[in-house]
Amino acid sequence: MDKRHWCVVTLIAVLGLMAGCAGKTTRGAVNDLAVANAMVDAAADVLETTIANDTDGTVRALLGKAKGVLIIPAVDEASLLVSVGGGNAVLMALTDQGWTGPVFMTKGTVGVGFQAGVSRQSGILLFMHQDDVRYMLRTGAIVQAHARLIVLNVAYEIHETDAFYESGDVYFVGDRKGVYAGLAVNSGGFTDRTVLNEVYTGVPGGGPRAILLERKLQPEGAQRLRDLLSQTGNGMKDSAEQQLFWQKKRTESKFRPELSLWGE
């Protein structure tokens, strides 16, 4: 084979290799987008179910005050906040442009605390202050030092005062399958899924802060999520109306938080 033919063969081989790599990259991007879409759909289902079970308007009132939400479709093996767990979540933030995101996160670390019998959990973390949203983006932890976390289930099973209920900085409202014997706040555990962020939003590098707070992106595929969040907040943004709502709740004594913890 002369030199000219050898160069042609080499070029064809290189082009074939490049095409194969491109094909794999394309397939990988398609798969990542499918995963992202499935997570968004699952998160919307959790939010919709939580709202449907909110017969007295508690969750709607909290969403009307929230500056960010982390929606967890499901976490297997152990409680979201403790022990060895694994699962996915989507985070959205409220900005002057409305609800932005989502960005994608995952959890799979060892926490601190005693627990027993937890099998599966899904729900919503509501951040009352944007500083707490920024803190999670920066550290992966759900609560800052001295921030008060209040954990409820959708049935409000344990009695407590409404003044206690209103004092939270971060709330978890969720549903469990299985029984647990204890709960403790993890010092961290959530990490960004930047590959999913990038393929879903088109932002190079998939930086969650850039997506949520700087560019304030609102992907079309998350319209259902944004609609649910926006609708639940309607009518509860006026401070006087919120005060009347909480006063009514205090009179009815229907708030029943399960547990309050201070962030470590």
For residues 222 and 241, the model is more confident at 222
Contact status, residue 259 vs residue 151, Cβ threshold 8 Å: yes
Assign 107 a pLDDT band (cuts: 50, 70, 90).
confident
pLDDT in tens, 176-234: 554 333 333 344 468 899 999 999 999 999 999 999 999 999 999 999 999 999 877 54
Contact status, residue 192 vs residue 105, Cβ threshold 8 Å: yes
For residues 37 and 175, the model is more confident at 37
Using DSSP, state whether 63 is helix, strand or coil: helix
Q: How far apart are CA 172 and CA 124, in angstroms?
A: 6
Q: How far apart are CA 223 and CA 153, in angstroms?
A: 27
| Domain residue ranges in the chain | 45-262
pLDDT in tens, 60-86: 888 988 999 999 886 554 444 433 345
pLDDT in tens, 8-42: 445 445 455 555 554 545 666 778 899 999 999 98
Exposed/middle/buried for residue 235 (C-beta within 10 Å: 0-12, 13-18, 19+)? middle
The dihedrals phi and psi of 256, each to the nearest 5 degrees, come to: -140, 70
Average per-residue pLDDT in the chain?
Answer: 70
pTM: 0.70
Give, for 134, the enclosing helix (H) or strand (E).
helix 130-139
